[in-house]
Structure 1
Amino acid sequence: MNLKSIYITFLLFVFTAGIFAQNREFNGLDMNMGNLYRLSSAETRSISPENFTGEKGKGGMAIPDPNAPRNTANATHAARDLGQGWKVNPYVRINPGETFTMAEIEGPGAIQHIWMTPTGNWRFSIIRVYWDDETEPSVECPIGHFFGMGWNEYAPLNSMPVTVNPGSAFNSYWVMPFRRKCRITMTNINDAEAMNLYYQIDYTLTDVPADAAYFHAQYRRTKVNETSDYTIVDGIKGEGHYVGVYMAWQVNNNGWWGEGEIKFFMDGDKKFPTI
């Protein structure tokens, strides 16, 4: 078939500002189809190996160079005929035992979406998130468990906060506000091999309300005691919301399906739980 011309048709949907400016009370967080018409002063940014800092006008600057330092032009061979601006550095390589800083952001603002595709054993890739000036992470978890893939193999997952697409396309939509600073790292604890990490962290710089809580996640692994309750989490103090737990459960005997009761002991409960 000979085509003399190609026609591209598209629809552009956009909300525009009115003539008269008004005081903007909306901070741009929790955008959804019900409030897309609302304007704010929030600034969208994105961090990836193509723009390590998320700075304005700093994306896609890598130049193909076979002699470039590691993690500055990793896809030089694939992009050799395309040149600057064409996925010259879409991933980073993290050596055994190395910790790589994925993002370091000055606030206030909020993480809105994290996408990544890690290679290697997902149990050996540890993600940590530090809020403000923390020295201990608020999030510390193997990357497979964080995205609901605790058995180190792909399984379909489609939910509001986390989705996993075929292969290892991990997506987190947890909104994670911070006030002064956010730092995210990935550690490769595999002593035998390096890992490649494709990732993108989408965030917004905006005012954070006083009642906004910080996101926390912790990892546990143990052999459950057969004669007593297993404590999933304990020692949490102060105000907050319990938003869920992911379990990778292995049954080591015949005839039991792994069923059990979840109990919530709250605010001084002793023998019997509230829930």
Structure 2
Amino acid sequence: MSIGNLNDIFRPAEGRSRAITAENPTGAKGAGGKAAGPLGVARKGRAFLPLPAGAELTLCDIRTPGIITHIWCTTFDQTEKHWFALRNIVLRMYWDDEETPSVEAPLGDFFCNGFGERAIVNSLPVVVNPTGGMNCYFPMPFRKSGRITVTSEHPEDIEAFFYQIDYTEKDSLPEDTEYFHAAFRRENPTAPGQDFVIVDNIRGRGKYVGTFLAWTSLERFWYGEGEVKFYIDGDWEWPTICGTGAEDYFGGAWGFVTPNNGAAVAEQTYSTPFMGFPQFVTRDKVRAHIYDGAALPMRGFYRWHLPDPILFESDLKVTVQQIGHDGLRLFERSDDLCAVAYWYQREPHAAFKPLPDAAGRRPR
């Protein structure tokens, strides 16, 4: 059954439905809801796990062929003395006992919530509902094992991490199964005249399925003239696919603004099944109870290549130019960019660029 295809829902499906939570950490059959709590046994006894500072929490360690079909989780976006928990928690996923993760990204950015702040996202594979209910529907297959962890690089203990991982247990999966991958990048600041690399060093055969960009403007004027480029299967100098501008890649146009009696109004956010602009931060909301401070303009965008995946046979690199417009002319600009790239490929995958530490991921 393909993602979101209701026309297939009535067809017979093979496998066994399982779910992993804090109450049933192995997903074992008939083992749900047994934990004891204040109301007694099987009365909501263990809805979450604590996440101490510096700790790694294993959310699931499935030791059978299967496909993760849905992940839901939520936690606090700040603690008493420190902000940006969604940037400080790192999500990792490992398939078939691999030593290096196939998914490595800050928790918030993976769910299209950049800058350590929450935002509502209403897309097909990623949904974030009020308040901070993060959902992922990308299918994640594995032939031997699937392990998901969260690691806290937050300076304080996080009281509670809530989660549920739904999966289908299988007898086997084809040898040519393509596995889910996601990787985080940041360049702060970007170098004028040099394209920001969303992802590179993808080696193997697969398909690119999505981009999330968390874009902090460090200069004045319009920022989104840069073209998104895909270097496919040996394109070392010139890309095979080159778009017409950043706002076009994310499905918008004309700077996301609508003229009002000759004057442009504020950029309009949107969230649709395959592309969106769900975050636009101009006030320092995380510290609003201390002071009403202006923030550098921060914008979060997503683009899912689900109807139109970018296919590659041997290698792939994805970049975006840093080009702005001041109303008179184009200019090379420098901003603070973070990205999460999402793709499927046959294993093994090439090593990711090292993840910046918590200080290197800190939002402006």
TM-score, normalised by the number of residues in structure 1? 0.80
Q: Deviations over 1:218-239 (max 9, x none)?
A: 1111121112112211111111
Structure 1 pair 266–89 and aligned structure 2 pair: CA distance change class (3 A)? same
Q: Report whether the alignment pairs 1:146 with 2:103.
A: no
Q: Is the 8 A contact 1:115 1:170 kept in 2?
A: yes
Shift of 1:29: 6.9
Shift of 1:184: 0.6
Q: Report whether the alignment pairs 1:157 with 2:121.
A: yes
2-structure distance, mates of 1:259, 1:251: 13
Question: What is the SS of the residue equivalent to 1:243?
Answer: strand
Shift of 1:31: 7.2
Unaligned runs of 5+ in 2: 79-84, 242-364
Structure 1 pair 270–41 and aligned structure 2 pair: CA distance change class (3 A)? closer
Question: What is the SS of the residue equivalent to 1:34?
Answer: helix
User: Which position in structure 2 is the counterpart of 1:178?
Assistant: 142
Structure 1 pair 55–156 and aligned structure 2 pair: CA distance change class (3 A)? same
User: Which position in structure 1 is the counterpart of 2:15?
Assistant: 42
Match of 1:241 among 177, 187, 207: 207
Q: Deviations over 1:242-275 (max 9, x none)?
A: 0111000011111133331011111222332111
Q: Which runs of structure 1 show a deviation greater than 3 angstroms over 4 or more consecutive aligned residues?
A: 28-32
Q: Is the 8 A contact 1:249 1:258 kept in 2?
A: no
Structure 1 pair 221–55 and aligned structure 2 pair: CA distance change class (3 A)? same
Question: What is the SS of the residue equivalent to 1:247?
Answer: strand
2-structure distance, mates of 1:95, 1:228: 40
Structure 1 pair 185–44 and aligned structure 2 pair: CA distance change class (3 A)? same
Match of 1:220 among 181, 185, 202: 185
Match of 1:204 among 138, 153, 168: 168
2-structure distance, mates of 1:29, 1:58: 29
Shift of 1:101: 0.7
Shift of 1:195: 4.2
Shift of 1:37: 2.0
2-structure distance, mates of 1:43, 1:270: 45
Question: What is the SS of the residue equivalent to 2:17?
Answer: strand
Match of 1:102 among 59, 65, 69: 59
Q: Is the 8 A contact 2:36 2:44 kept in 1?
A: no
Percent identity over the alignment is 43
Match of 1:261 among 224, 227, 240: 227
Q: Is the 8 A contact 1:144 1:150 kept in 2?
A: yes
2-structure distance, mates of 1:86, 1:137: 36
Larger gyration radius, structure 1 or structure 2: 1
Q: Is the 8 A contact 2:55 2:152 kept in 1?
A: yes
User: Which position in structure 2 is the counterpart of 1:62?
Assistant: 35
2-structure distance, mates of 1:52, 1:83: 19
RMSD: 1.6
User: Which position in structure 1 is the counterpart of 2:196?
Assistant: 230
Structure 1 pair 29–269 and aligned structure 2 pair: CA distance change class (3 A)? closer
Shift of 1:210: 3.4
Q: Is the 8 A contact 2:127 2:136 kept in 1?
A: yes
Given residue 210 of structure 1, which amino acid in structure 2 is its aligned partner? E
Q: Is the 8 A contact 2:18 2:166 kept in 1?
A: yes
Q: Report whether the alignment pairs 1:131 with 2:107.
A: no
1-structure distance, mates of 2:168, 2:139: 10
2-structure distance, mates of 1:193, 1:50: 21
2-structure distance, mates of 1:219, 1:37: 37
Given residue 48 of structure 1, which amino acid in structure 2 is its aligned partner? T
Q: Is the 8 A contact 2:67 2:169 kept in 1?
A: yes
User: Which position in structure 2 is the counterpart of 1:67?
Assistant: none
2-structure distance, mates of 1:157, 1:250: 19
Which runs of structure 2 are paired with 1:16-35 in the superposition (5 Å)? 32-35=5-8
1-structure distance, mates of 2:197, 2:13: 43
Structure 1 pair 30–253 and aligned structure 2 pair: CA distance change class (3 A)? closer
More strand by share: 2
Q: Is the 8 A contact 1:147 1:171 kept in 2?
A: yes
User: Which position in structure 1 is the counterpart of 2:289?
Assistant: none
Unaligned runs of 5+ in 1: 1-27, 65-79
Q: Is the 8 A contact 1:145 1:246 kept in 2?
A: yes
Q: Deviations over 1:102-147 (max 9, x none)?
A: 1000121100000001113100111110000201110011100000
Shift of 1:30: 5.0
TM-score, normalised by the number of residues in structure 2? 0.61
Given residue 146 of structure 2, which amino acid in structure 1 is its aligned partner? C
Question: What is the SS of the residue equivalent to 1:242?
Answer: strand
1-structure distance, mates of 2:159, 2:216: 27
Q: How many residues align?
A: 232
Shift of 1:41: 3.2
Q: Report whether the alignment pairs 1:166 with 2:127.
A: no
User: Which position in structure 2 is the counterpart of 1:89?
Assistant: 46
